Chains A and B, each alone.
Chain A
Amino acid sequence: MKYLFLFFFLSSTAWAESDSAILSLEDLLDSPLINPPNNVDVSTASKFSQTIKNAPSAVRVMSRDDIQLFGYRTLGEILRSMPGLFTSYDGQNTFLGARGIAIPGDFNTRVLILIDGIRLNNNVFDSALVGNEFPLDVDLIDRVEYVPGPGSAIYGNNAFLGVVNVLTRGAASLRGAEASLEYGSFNTSKLRASMASRLDNGMEYLVSATQFRRGGPDHPVYMDYAIAAPEFKGNPATDSDLSRYLFAKLSMGGLQMTGAFASREKANPVLIGSVNSDESVAVMIKNGKTLNDSLHSFIGLTYDFEAFSDWNMQARLNYHEEEYKGHFPEYFFSEDLNTEKMIVFKENYKGRWWDGELHALYNQLPEHKILLGVEGRVNAEQFWHSYAEGFNTEKPMQQSSSYYAFFAQDEYKFADHFTLIAGARYDYTEYGNHFNPRLGLLWDPLDKTYIKLLYGSAFRNPNFFEQSQNKASNFRDAGAEKITTLELVAEHYLTPAAKLNGSVYHYKMNNLIGQSYIGNNLIYTNLQKIRSTGFETEFEQWFDSGIQAKLAYSLQKTTIGNGTELFNSPRHMLNFKFLLPFADSRWKLATELRYLSSVDIFYGMLPKQWLADMVLNGDINKNCSLSLSIHNLADTSSFEATRYLNFDRYSIKQDGRDIRLKINFRY
């Protein structure tokens, strides 16, 4: 018996408790598996739990174990390690690109992001960002499910390229209280305190508070001018970040309340320079103390109950508030550069909205699983204002709006090893009504193999910001975006410890919305037809000694119009992860290597890049663990695309090597 062998190595004190030739429940919960399991349940693809092989998508799951072991510090870092996803950081925000689509100027509008099923994409930009802007500390994530492909058939707007659901930890995972301290490069520190428990009466709670502070590089490397800047006196650009996160969950007998509050104060290090040659006056712009303050909070109620004895129902009601205030001092110079004048530009937005949903799952009909639901949103406030302080020229834009939708899906096991999934959603919106069907044919001939053939569709309406920009320029609104896709997914276990999966897809996108200019005015127009064809594969092997290796590769080609390659769309991406336990598995060394091929941005190219991260994790004892993570191990210089067309620089140099030490205590 393997466990006898194990006892031999354990100090006698550990097993003072009697009757323990088998492990305690806690120890069983902490026991890792030998092989990658093939029956993991996911709940995002269909809004109910199902095994991965029954989900109508090539679902990817990242568990808390891997998030810790690989030292991911933001949701963006978690996501970019998955096939087909990449991120760009512009000194302020982190944007997500999926399967070749990352159009500068959109604020993550095409991937729907959820926390425990609660939609985060806001009602001004349609955005949910994945860097420190994300309103939840990564340490509270139990798992991340990424459902690639269009999800409008059950999620509607924004589920255009995929859905990301961030599921939070509960009392069973926290088991008491935790405190975590981090310190690292660029004067970065993070403090977190969390507490959770399930009481004897069945009530469960979790509360957590985090403060993150980052001084940033002494001389932010991002700042640059298209044209050499004269020496300025005064403020150097800064790159600081102060983010605070509060999160709480309370549940009792099917009813759950979730609340989050996040605030961020970010100094923007990007300097913009331009020359207005028409008027033969040199205009230089310097961002001295560019500050961006944002607040994001939501509170949600979810109620799981049973109706008519056989229907599993879920009702949700959420209220969100999001606010942003940008402050951009810009310096204008006279022709001889002797006098400077400062004008402060302000950018404010605010969104308040309610969303609600009621869905029912019926699985009493043999071989059928039927999902029916309604969902709606009321945008109580959508506000956007951009102006120069002291100049009363620009009016604020504001409105309120709403939408509602119906959806239905059936999972029908029509023969042994065959399942058909058919679903559709009808959305009534201010930009017309949208019908989005999806179909999946799933075949699992053997325990170790499955194949899925999927058809999907999705839409995205122009968001309030895009509408407002066009209104301000008296330009007509852009139309809604549409996508239809075809995808073939397969997975096969070569041995119980070696898993290979792959996916081939073809996307057709009409009317994607992108930036353009009329004179100096930014407007949003529908782009020409975009097509994307790609292939993603992942090979994972676990070894006896606890060594794990995972290789992911994505290849894609995305073209616009008659075949021009789309900008900011990396052709090849590679991700290699290697986990090496040592000293009786008490210590683990995790290494990740990432490759992105060169990409075209508007005016120029970003060179191909190889980046390596390394993390050492150790359990000092049952209650204390350590992790030392080094991001960008080789201190490679790398660039990522910016978001605006009107930047003089279309890419921004990223921070170099970034070391962080983290200590986690558990009580």
Chain B
Amino acid sequence: MVKLIFFLLSFIFPSHVFAATDEVELKANFIFRFAQFTTWPPPPNKETLLCVLGSRGIYDELDKFKDRKINGNSVRVLNISSIKSVADCHVLFVGAQERINLSMVLALPILVIGESAEAFDKKVIIVLVTEPNRISFKINRSQASNVGLVMSAQLLKLAKEVR
């Protein structure tokens, strides 16, 4: 009986209601989640550093997560202007407009995230894909394991494509 009532209630109060979201805000949420689902070869010892290159909008949204924790570590969000200052970053988001040569970062154990098809061809580890009504993502798993990053099974399961 209790089950039945619960069942009926679930019809009236569905547990999943999705509010429409701004694209940039949604992408920042994804980036934060990706960091939570990634294990670095030496794990960050005090803080997890999230770097943003070439996207002020993403930086502003991501900065709202600075008081949260990723696997017990505090979070710092950094807006960087040059590829040279990435050495300490754990996550690097590269905006679609940014046309820099990524080859030097690709060898480092950094979770590089992009938002364009080109970025995926250029071996970025995760790329956010804009669908007509939502956002999805693709993972370059072999690139991740090349630099020693481990992505959780959950992340791999939900990716639109795993290369």
A residues contacting B by CB (< 8 A) are 1-3, 6, 9-11, 13-14, 21-37, 39-41, 43, 48-51, 61-63, 65-66, 143, 170-173, 175, 197-198, 200, 202, 204, 253-254, 304, 312, 361, 363, 369, 546, 584-586, 619-622
Contact = CB atoms under 8 A, between A and B. Distances in A.
A43 B156 CA distance: 23
A517 to B, nearest CB: 46
Nearest to B28: A22
A650 B161 CA distance: 48
Nearest to B103: A364
A61 B132 CA distance: 7
A170 B136 CA distance: 12
Interface string B111-148: 00001111011100000011111111000011000000
Interface stretch (B14-22, B47-55, B75-83, B86-94): B14-22
B155 interface: yes
Contacts of B107: none
Contacts of A62: 132
B16 A33 contact: no
The 9 closest A-B pairs by CB, nearest first: A49-B117, A14-B15, A63-B132, A34-B20, A65-B133, A37-B130, A11-B13, A32-B20, A31-B21
Contact of A622 (B16, B30, B122, B158): B16
A499 B129 CA distance: 20
A202 B133 contact: no
Contacts, number: 158
A33 B18 CA distance: 10
A444 to B, nearest CB: 11
A33 B15 contact: no
30 contacts: A1-B64, A2-B21, A11-B9, A11-B13, A22-B65, A23-B29, A25-B33, A25-B37, A25-B158, A27-B18, A28-B33, A30-B134, A31-B135, A33-B20, A37-B23, A39-B116, A41-B117, A49-B121, A197-B157, A198-B159, A198-B162, A200-B156, A202-B141, A363-B121, A546-B20, A585-B18, A586-B14, A620-B11, A621-B10, A622-B16
A29 B157 CA distance: 12
Given A39-B96, A363-B122, A619-B16, A32 B158 contact: no
Contacts of B17: 6, 9-10, 584-586
A66 B132 contact: yes
A14 B16 contact: yes
Contact of A50 (B117, B122, B131): B117
A254 B163 contact: yes
A28 B116 CA distance: 19
Contacts of B29: 22-23, 28
B26 interface: yes
B20 A13 contact: no
B66 interface: no
A323 to B, nearest CB: 34
Contacts of B23: 33-35, 37
Nearest to B157: A198
Contacts of B40: none
Contacts of B15: 10-11, 13-14, 621-622
Nearest to A22: B29
Given A14-B15, A28-B29, A172 B20 contact: no
A45 to B, nearest CB: 12
Contacts of A586: 14, 17
B14 A622 contact: yes
A35 B22 CA distance: 7
B99 to A, nearest CB: 8
B19 A361 contact: no
Given A51-B116, A172-B157, A619 B14 contact: yes
Given A11-B15, A32-B20, A49-B117, 20 more contacts: A1-B64, A11-B9, A22-B65, A24-B33, A28-B30, A29-B158, A30-B18, A32-B134, A33-B20, A34-B20, A34-B23, A37-B132, A48-B121, A61-B132, A202-B162, A363-B121, A584-B14, A586-B17, A619-B14, A622-B15
A30 B16 contact: yes
B121 A312 contact: yes
A171 B117 CA distance: 20
A26 B65 CA distance: 19
Interface in B1-48: 9-11, 13-23, 26, 29-30, 32-33, 37
Contact of B159 (A49, A172, A361): A172
Given A40-B131, A202-B156, A51 B117 contact: yes
Contacts of B117: 41, 43, 48-51
Instruction: Kindly name the residue among A3, A24, A41 whose own CB sees the greatest number of chain B CB atoms within 10 A.
Output: A41
Contact of B153 (A32, A40, A200): A200
A65 B14 contact: no
Given A28-B26, A619-B16, A621-B10, A33 B135 contact: yes
Contact of A41 (B37, B129, B153, B155): B129
Nearest to B118: A363
B74 to A, nearest CB: 14
A28 B159 contact: no
Contacts of A172: 136, 157-160
B33 A49 contact: no
B114 to A, nearest CB: 12
A31 B134 contact: yes
A40 B14 CA distance: 31
B41 to A, nearest CB: 20
Nearest to B96: A39
Contacts of B64: 1
B16 A25 contact: no
Nearest to B120: A49
Contacts of A32: 18, 20-21, 133-134
B85 interface: no
A585 B18 CA distance: 8
Contacts of A175: 157-158
B118 to A, nearest CB: 7
A12 to B, nearest CB: 10
Nearest to B15: A14
B14 A63 contact: no
Nearest to A544: B20
Contacts of A31: 18-21, 26, 134-135
Given A30-B134, A51-B117, A170-B161, A6 B19 contact: yes
Contacts of B141: 202
B162 A22 contact: no
Contacts of B13: 11
Contacts of B130: 37, 39-41
Contacts of B160: 170, 172-173
Contacts of A34: 20-23
